Amino acid sequence: MIRAIAVDIDGTLNDQNRVLCASAIEAIRSLKVPVVLTTGNTHCFTRTVSVLLGTPRIFIAENGGVVSHSENEMEILADPAVCQEAYRQLSLVFPLEVYNSFRYRFTDIALKRNFDILEASRYVKAHNLPVDILDTTYAVHIKDKRVDKGTGLQSVAKRMGIGPEEFAAVGDSISDIPMFKIAGFKASVNNADPDLKAISDYVAKASYGQGFAEIVNYMGERRML
């Protein structure tokens, strides 16, 4: 049985223009199990989305760098200093442009997708920088390599008193792979990255929020929830 659902936001509950899908909202509100939002976005953004959707203030932000356990408890799992130093070094070589949401971030750095991401990743590896360059298609993140959505899910699951294998994970991006690897059931929407689809137990026929609603229906029909 699935006791909770960990779900990405951008590209999974909303579309490429970040418009929330009505069927995804209805699917979330129909669930009897907790929904844990997991995203690369900021803590304040994720909290706002959780309020709008009616999900608990338990969520994972900044690709695992920040975890909210309740309205009054936030846990920082990443080291922002390593991201800042990596950004300093990379900006000497690449024309990096930071998103204006940087003032709301506690750990990682979100960049516009206007530089050679593959070459930047090679630079990071060649210089043994302790970060990952993560392209979520909405932004490029410089993040502490010790954390990801999987480590965030482990932290949340422990506090909730359930195992990661009792979670269903739903997403669309390679940033979701770490939580897929530890979840008991994993499903991707149809617009998902091929690498994520390859490790999914179920791939929706529909894309974006409609795909999420399809996944919830799929689990309900099989009495997984």
**DSSP secondary structure letters along the chain:** ---EEEEE-TTTTB-TT-PBPHHHHHHHHH-SS-EEEE-SS-HHHHHHHHHHHT--S-EEEGGGTEEEEETTEEEE-S-HHHHHHHHHHHHTTS---B-GGGGG-SS-EEE-S-S-HHHHHHHHHHTT-SEEEEE-SS-EEEEETT--HHHHHHHHHHHHTS-GGGEEEEESSGGGHHHHHHSSEEEE-TTS-HHHHHT-SEE-SS-HHHHHHHHHHHHHHTT--
Catalytic (active site) residue 201:
no
Q: Which residues belong to the active site?
A: 8
